[in-house]
Amino acid sequence: MKTPVDIHTHHQFGLPGEAIISNPPEDFTPQKLCWYSIGIHPWEIRNNPIPYPTMKWKTFEKQSRHPQVLAIGEAGLDKRIGTPLALQKQLFIRQALLAEELCKPLIIHAVKAANELWMLKEQIKPSNPWIIHGFRGNAILAEQYIHHGFYLSFGEYYHQEALCFTPANRLFLETDESSIPITTFYERAAILRGMSTDTLLRIIRENIEKVFFK
């Protein structure tokens, strides 16, 4: 199977294996030659006093061990939704610990929760990579995340200064829910970073090999 170049998408289109397809557990039906991440998004527990029922969690744990699942996520914290942050943290920590147990990277949905994530990372002290997906913060926030050991993945919308600031060895690209081809994302990012598309593609492939296929 090929190495993916798009680390987070919700689409099934494109060539098999070129992207890591993000699925909630209930939608996980692995197809031949495809890569996946699987996780419980904080939006999934809105207005639910029980973050995730035991039987569903056991199924999720089993699915997470599937050889085509390269990462756990997207897990996360989102202060825009009505779900109490304490419940979100409870579910996030369970997924973070599972990712650590499986030695798989954790893909994170983060909305106005940087301080909480930095504190949780310090608390858990994971040895596996934590990746902020769809990063839209400015260069100052990017620098703070990098300082705390995170990787950053950029999608369709981002601050150009943040993308340029992010060290090459902490950088990923993704399509998420966009219909724009991942090749276009590479072309745009390469121009901003002052390098050829082929060079950027090689660098990010190396990052993906290191983080997702170690």
Q: Is 71 exposed, middle or buried (0-12, 13-18, 19+ CB in 10 A)?
A: buried
Neighbours of 20 (CB within 10 A): 26
- Which residue's entry shows tokens 């950053």? 152
For residues 23-52, average pLDDT: 85
Q: In angstroms, what is the C-alpha Rg of the chain? A: 16
Number of H helices, E strands in the chain: 7, 8
| Mean pLDDT in residue range 15-26 | 91
Structural domain contains residue 184: yes
Which whole number is the average pLDDT over 24-34?
A: 93
Q: Is residue 207 part of a domain?
A: yes
Domain membership flag for residue 1: no
What are the pLDDT digits (tens) for 172-207? Answer: 999 999 999 999 999 999 999 999 999 999 999 999
pLDDT band at 55 (very low <50, low <70, confident <90, very high): confident
- At residue 140, the pLDDT reads 98
Residue-wise pLDDT for 113-170, tens only, equals 999 999 999 999 999 999 999 999 999 999 999 999 999 999 999 999 999 999 999 9
Q: State how many domains the chain has.
A: 1
DSSP β-bridge partners for residue 130: 106
Residue 133 lies in domain: 6-212
Whether residue 71 lies inside any domain: the answer is yes
How high is the mean pLDDT of the chain?
94
Is pLDDT of 45 > 90?
no
pLDDT of residue 49: 54
Estimate the crossing angle of helix 85-102 against helix 54-64, to 10 degrees.
Answer: 30
**Given this model, what pLDDT does residue 2 score?**
82
pLDDT bin (cut points 50, 70, 90) of residue 56 is confident
Residues in the chain, how many? Answer: 214
Q: What are phi and psi of 7, to 5 degrees?
A: -85, -5
Strand partners, 106: 72, 130
The CATH number assigned to the domain holding 171 equals: 3.20.20.140
